C-alpha cells in the first residue's frame, strides 16, 4: 500500500505549483522539479534541469527490476534510504565504501577510486538488464571516473543523476555527461548537492511505487 506524503510536503508542493505555472514537463519530470525546489527553496532550478530522452521511464523500469542505487556520499545514501524502504525497497550503496581510507589527494580522490572500484565489481557480476542507477550530488571526479569507464567499453548505468555542486571541475563534468550516451538528469552549472540528487531519486522511487510514468 502506498505510504502517504506528509501534509506539510503536500502543501509545499501546492504552493510550488502555483508559482511555477505551466512547465511543459511530464508528470515524473514535474515531480522531480517540485522536489528539488522544495529541498532548496530555489525556483531558478527550473532553468537548469535537463533530461535525456525517455530517461524517467527508463529509470523507473530499472528501479522496478531491482537496479541498485550507487551514491557518491553517505549523506545522499541517508537521504534516499527512508524513501527506498517506504516504496520499493531498493538496495543503496555508497561508493566510498569501496575506496581506500587514505590516498595521495594530489593525484586523485577517494570518490573517483570508489566509483571505479564499485563499477569494476559490478562488471564482474554483470547483468546488462539491471545496470545500477548512479546518484552524484557532490563529486565531479566520481562522475568523470564513471564516464571514463563507460567510454572505455564498460556498461552504461541505468541513469546518472549528475548534480555535483561547486566550481572546480563541476560544470565541465556535467557538460561531458550531457554530451555522453548515458541516460541522465542534470542540473547545469555550479548548482547541485546531495539533497537535490537525493530528492530527484526519491521522486523516481515514488513514481516507481505508484506506477506513474
pLDDT band at residue 3 using 50, 70 and 90 as cut-offs: confident
What was the pLDDT predicted at 129?
67
38 is catalytic: yes
Q: Considering the domain boundaries, does residue 2 fall inside one?
A: no
**Average pLDDT along the chain:** 95
CATH number of the domain where residue 90 is located = 3.40.50.10230
* Chain segment 104-162, per-residue pLDDT in tens: 877 899 999 999 999 999 998 876 568 999 999 999 999 999 999 999 999 999 999 99
Q: Which domain holds residue 93?
A: 7-210
Q: Considering the domain boundaries, does residue 200 fall inside one?
A: yes
Give the C-alpha separation, 62 to 39, whole Å. Answer: 25
pTM tops 0.85, yes or no: yes
Count the domains in the chain: 1
- Model confidence at 213: pLDDT above 50: no
Q: Considering the domain boundaries, does residue 103 fall inside one?
A: yes
Q: Considering the domain boundaries, does residue 1 fall inside one?
A: no
* Chain segment 75-91, per-residue pLDDT in tens: 999 999 999 999 999 99
Q: Which of 37-41, 155-159, 191-195, 208-212 has the lowest mean pLDDT?
A: 208-212
pLDDT band at residue 5 using 50, 70 and 90 as cut-offs: confident
Among 13, 16, 20, 38, the active-site one is 38
Q: Considering the domain boundaries, does residue 77 fall inside one?
A: yes
Amino acid at each position: 500500500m502506498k505510504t502517504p506524503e506528509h501534509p506539510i510536503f503536500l502543501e509545499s508542493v501546492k504552493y510550488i505549483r502555483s508559482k511555477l505555472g505551466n512547465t511543459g514537463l511530464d508528470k515524473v519530470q514535474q515531480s522531480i522539479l517540485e522536489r528539488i525546489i522544495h529541498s532548496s527553496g530555489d525556483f531558478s532550478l527550473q532553468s537548469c534541469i535537463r533530461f535525456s530522452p525517455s530517461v524517467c521511464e527508463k529509470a523507473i523500469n530499472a528501479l522496478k527490476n531491482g537496479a541498485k542505487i550507487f551514491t557518491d556520499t553517505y549523506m545522499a545514501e541517508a537521504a534516499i534510504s527512508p524513501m527506498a524502504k517506504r516504496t520499493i525497497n531498493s538496495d543503496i550503496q555508497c561508493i566510498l565504501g569501496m575506496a581506500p581510507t587514505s590516498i595521495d589527494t594530489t593525484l586523485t580522490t577517494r570518490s573517483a577510486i570508489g566509483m571505479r572500484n564499485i563499477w569494476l565489481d559490478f562488471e564482474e557480476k554483470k547483468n546488462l538488464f539491471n545496470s545500477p542507477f548512479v546518484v552524484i550530488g557532490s563529486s565531479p571526479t566520481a562522475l568523470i571516473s564513471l564516464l571514463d569507464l563507460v567510454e572505455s567499453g564498460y556498461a552504461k548505468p541505468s541513469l546518472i543523476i549528475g548534480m555535483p555542486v561547486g566550481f572546480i571541475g563541476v560544470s565541465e563534468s556535467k557538460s561531458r555527461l550531457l554530451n555522453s550516451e548515458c541516460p541522465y538528469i542534470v542540473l547545469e552549472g555550479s548548482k547541485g548537492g546531495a539533497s537535490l540528487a537525493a530528492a530527484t531519486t526519491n521522486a523516481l522511487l515514488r513514481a516507481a511505487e505508484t506506477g506513474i510514468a
